[in-house]
Amino acid sequence: MISPRRLAALCVKESRQIARDPSSVIIALVLPLILLVIFGYGINLDSTRIVAEAIPNPS
């Protein structure tokens, strides 16, 4: 298990890195939200139009 002191140091380091490079905020937060919306519109779980076809037995 990671020690609380090491975890705090890691959080401080990552916060400083994000503050230095604001484009990483876009990559880390905004881009996944955009992808979530795109895939959300792409997946349609409504099953109102199901096409079924019967194949006759050639006996």
Is the predicted pLDDT of residue 3 greater than 90, yes or no? yes
* Domain carrying residue 29: 8-41
The rounded distance, in Å, linking the Cα atoms of 30 and 45 is 25
Whether 59 has a pLDDT exceeding 80, the answer reads: no
pLDDT in tens, 4-49: 999 999 999 988 988 898 888 888 888 899 999 988 888 777 767 7
3-state DSSP assignment of residue 1: coil
pTM of the predicted model as reported, rounded to 2 decimal places: 0.45
Please count the structural domains in the chain: 1
Query: What is the per-residue DSSP string for 7-51?
Result: HHHHHHHHHHHHHH-THHHIIIIIHHHHHHHHHHHH-----S---
pLDDT value at residue 43? 79
Query: Hey, how many other C-beta atoms are within 10 angstroms of the C-beta on 15?
Result: 10
Let me know if residue 57 belongs to a domain.
Answer: no
Does the residue 14 lie in any domain? yes
Residue 54, domain member (yes or no): no
Is residue 1 included in any domain, yes or no? no
Quick check: is 36 in a domain?
Answer: yes
Per the CB < 8 A criterion, the answer to whether 33 and 39 are in contact is no
Is 53 part of any domain?
no
